[in-house]
Amino acid sequence: MILNYKNSSIHYTIEGKGDSIVLLHGFLESVEMWQDLIAVLSTTNKVVCVDLLGHGKTDCIGYVHTMDAMAAAVLVVLEYLNIESADIIGHSMGGYVALALAEQRPELFKGLCLMNSTYDADDASRKQIRTRASEMAQHNFEALVQMSFANLFTPESKIIHKTAYEKALQLALKTPLQGYIAAQEGMKLRPNRFAILKNLKCNKIIIAGKKDSLVNTDQIINNIEGTDIDFVEFSEGHMSHIENKSDLTYKILRFIEK
């Protein structure tokens, strides 16, 4: 389904009936990443998935898509659907967007799951990597996307889950150049939102992958000690919905039951 927003289009899907669950995909992904989870969750819940700015079938609205701008676009969909409370699950960049949304509208949250994501801001090194990637993208976009996407999986996972990996890569390659750069620039600008997460009054969980090189799990475990934030670590990497699909599905089902 399509909503008009700032002379552009926001694409979203909605399936099932019941309490609302909102799924927000990551960088170089789209609503299609959630297909298997939607099939399970929509039997008992209303599941809403939104293509974030410059991804999937949602248009770009500029050359920098901040996490706040992405959250504002998500909010337009939720308000249109009259969703006043939801469990919100964000994968990677989708987690950054969920936290920006929590800052804007904390009362929306029945639960928040950061999946292979973090509340932390980029450090100087990570910002530099994003800047270089944006520059490289303008010259050899396809090769850069292939390289970036490969780094999201452990070497073993690319073999074990070859079909799913290839399918996800083909979807990643559909990301427009402007969407790629705008998201990279937006992620560079995001602040540390640990205080937002800590103070949010809802069910909260961080799901991590033991072999995920993009998320500092040791730091997360340290920071959340003594808080009401749950933590679970799976055996593989950044793509838990592929690499640890059955474990993730079980944990998400338990999460939304609370």
Q: What is the pLDDT of residues 131-180, one digit of tens each?
A: 999 999 999 999 999 988 888 888 888 999 999 999 999 999 999 999 99
Contact call for residues 244 and 235 (beta carbons, < 8 A)? yes
- Per-residue model confidence (pLDDT) at position 148: 85
In single-letter form, the type of residue at position 161 comes to H
Tokens at 212, concatenated: 């995920």
Whole-angstrom distance between the N-terminal and C-terminal Cα of the chain?
30
What does the alpha-carbon distance between residue 250 and residue 203 come to, in Å, rounded to a whole number?
16
Residue 20, classed as helix, strand or coil, is: strand
- Per-residue model confidence (pLDDT) at position 94: 98
Provide the number of structural domains found in the chain. Answer: 1
- Per-residue model confidence (pLDDT) at position 149: 86
CATH number at residue 227: 3.40.50.1820
- Per-residue model confidence (pLDDT) at position 227: 97
Distances (CA, A) of 64 to 93, 128, 148, 179: 14, 16, 19, 9
Tokens at 250, concatenated: 């079980």
Percent share of the chain, pLDDT over 70: 100
Tell me how many helices (H) and strands (E) the chain has: 12, 8
Contact call for residues 234 and 210 (beta carbons, < 8 A)? yes
Give the residues of the chain that fall short of pLDDT 70.
Answer: none
- Per-residue model confidence (pLDDT) at position 125: 96
* Domain around 111: 2-257
What does the alpha-carbon distance between residue 249 and residue 39 come to, in Å, rounded to a whole number?
11
- Per-residue model confidence (pLDDT) at position 71: 98
Total-model pTM? 0.97
- Per-residue model confidence (pLDDT) at position 5: 93
Contact call for residues 112 and 204 (beta carbons, < 8 A)? yes
**Helix intervals (H) in the chain:** 35-41, 67-80, 93-104, 124-137, 141-150, 155-160, 162-172, 177-189, 194-199, 217-224, 240-243, 245-257
